[in-house]
Structure 1
Amino acid sequence: MLRRWRQTRAVGLCDPQVNPHCQPGAALPADGRLRLLSFNIQVGISTQRYHHYLTRSWQHLLPHAGRSGTLQRIGDLLADFDLVALQEVDGGSLRSGYVNQVEYLAQQGAFPYWYQQLNRNLGRIAQHSNGVLSRLRPSLLEDHPLPGPPGRGAIILRLGEGEQALGVVMMHLALGPRTRTRQLAYIRERVGEFRHLVLMGDMNTHANDLLENSPLRDLGLVAPQVQATFPSWRPQRCLDHILLSPGLELERVDVLTQAISDHLPVAVEIRLPHAQSTDGVPMLQPSISG
């Protein structure tokens, strides 16, 4: 099964799933602000001490009663944001009670659009995934497996059209530095068209490494937060990031003290690029599907 998955996993141009329980394409605020969140949710496992990696390891394989409560807490948190990148999400297998956690959180947070990126398919045992939740309909969404051992991926989406469009890359990078460099080089090759860019996710390394020593170094990206995000109960390492191109105006940044997973969520509020016109109407108006 795993060998077949490696052969069929390929770059794909995709459409987001539509949540039938809420209205599509809510209007943007007049001031053009966009609230972003990145969160590694550890498939709904509440890890609060190092020894929980051993004593609760069975929860990576089997369902448990507390997972639904943890997902409810996560859903309540996500409801305050416009665009969410999720890592370590299950796409609907035994361990999650056959619940697609991306779809579930889209419903809990009333997001009109969602997409699940399946990176490692273990059938009924586990569906290792990334996810995106959005209140805006992307004008482009691409599913990219990343170089290296199977199991890592990036989602590239575009909001709006033309020169003022916003490119967003959501990713979960490898632990090893050599593989991570290959993955960042792959991403760098695919974001050159964007004047305005956001990179967000669990990048498994510190901001200085990303900005100064990686294939991203020529983009001039800004890391607005350097506060530690891991482990959530006693943060010591800054592994989760939302990186911004210098043309985006930063309004607010926070690492949320919500020890739900073993990572803390990172939140950023930015002001979107505006059309070059006298009326200053935001360029990134959401599309309403028919």
Structure 2
Amino acid sequence: MTRATVAQADPPERRLRLLSCNILAGASVQRYSEYVTRSINAVLPGRNKMDNLDRLAEVLQQFDVIGLQEADAGSLRSGFLNQTRYLAETAGMPFWSHQPNRAMARLAHSANGLISRLKPHSVLDYPLPSRIPGRGALLAQFGEGDSALAVMIAHLSLSAPARTRQLGFIAELLQDFPHAILMGDLNTEPHSAEMTHLFAKCNLQPPARPTLTFPSWKPRRALDHILTSATLRIDKVWTLPQAFSDHLSLAAEIHLPSHVGGMISTRGRRQ
């Protein structure tokens, strides 16, 4: 009797769709003059903000891991609504976490946010070094040990010296993870001196080409980024056609090695 040979099936394709959004606390800006003419919107809630969040929630269903910047943690300008939680629940996404940062009395309270279809093993908050406190980074870990996938969400300062310190700090945090993603509004171009410093200190890779995200109505600058380590393959990067704030949302689809991220599965994603 001959022994039958059983073919070994290849590991299933493991893809993640990522989205990074600076949502400006739900406000919509379509030209520079509106920073002044609509300045009252910065401190007051409104139906237009809720409509904007609802439109964004419909889009989030297409993604697996979403990083938010400038989400309101619950203050006057959002009607005391935790916008990260609202978006997660409205989109039907099971996991969310937020990192409140700079609070301005009860008028505004900015936060970084994580929304995920996948259950993180841990989520940690880190204050970023800055002369003016209030910037932070949120680090989610999917899986454990050397096979863990680390996803960091950050919103960096406007000054180059502060960004250099902040990216140095982020590099130190991520250098222990072979498989890492950094996404957010980094407020700098991919070929700036501070980004070069980041790439020299950890295994994150510079993008193949810049993707323009700011201002949303006529993008001229690549300020928002989804950066990955060399072990993760980026298939495509694009901006969403809808503008939800003064930044375009940045999306990416990546492939993971079969052992990375623990029990990551993207089954059940709504298209």
Q: Distance in 1 between matches of 2:38 and 2:235?
A: 38
Query: Cα deviations across residues 200-250 of structure 1 (Å, max 9, x unaligned)?
Result: 000000111268632332434131451210000000000000011111122
Q: Quick one: which amino acid aligns to residue 78 of structure 1?
A: L
Q: Quick one: which amino acid aligns to residue 157 of structure 2?
A: A
- Which of 189, 192, 197 in structure 2 is aligned with 1:209? 192
Q: Quick one: which amino acid aligns to residue 151 of structure 1?
A: G
Query: Cα deviations across residues 93-135 of structure 1 (Å, max 9, x unaligned)?
Result: 1111111100000012111111111001234212111101011
C-alpha contact 1:225 1:254 (8 A) present in aligned 2: no
Q: CA RMSD in A?
A: 1.8
Tell me by how many angstroms 1:257 deviates: 2.1
Q: Matched residue pairs, number? A: 253
Check if 1:219 corresponds to 2:198: no
- Which of 162, 180, 186 in structure 1 is aligned with 2:145? 162
- Which of 239, 242, 250 in structure 1 is aligned with 2:226? 242
Check if 1:273 corresponds to 2:257: yes
Q: Distance in 2 between matches of 1:182 and 1:228?
A: 24
Larger radius of gyration: 2
Q: Which runs of 4+ in 1 moved over 4 A?
A: none
Partner of 2:5: none
Tell me by how many angstroms 1:162 deviates: 2.1
Partner of 2:268: none
Q: Distance in 2 between matches of 1:236 and 1:201?
A: 17
Partner of 2:100: 118
Matches within 5 A, 1:68-107: 68-107=50-89
C-alpha contact 2:167 2:194 (8 A) present in aligned 1: no
Distance 1:224 1:43, change over 3 A: farther
Partner of 1:279: none
Q: Quick one: which amino acid aligns to residue 150 of structure 2?
A: G
Q: Quick one: which amino acid aligns to residue 259 of structure 1?
A: A
TM-score (norm 1): 0.83
TM-score (norm 2): 0.88
Q: Distance in 2 between matches of 1:98 and 1:176?
A: 30
Check if 1:42 corresponds to 2:20: no
Q: Extract unaligned runs of 5+ from structure 1.
A: 1-28, 276-281
Partner of 1:58: 40
Q: Distance in 2 between matches of 1:194 and 1:137?
A: 18
Q: Distance in 1 between matches of 2:14 and 2:264?
A: 12
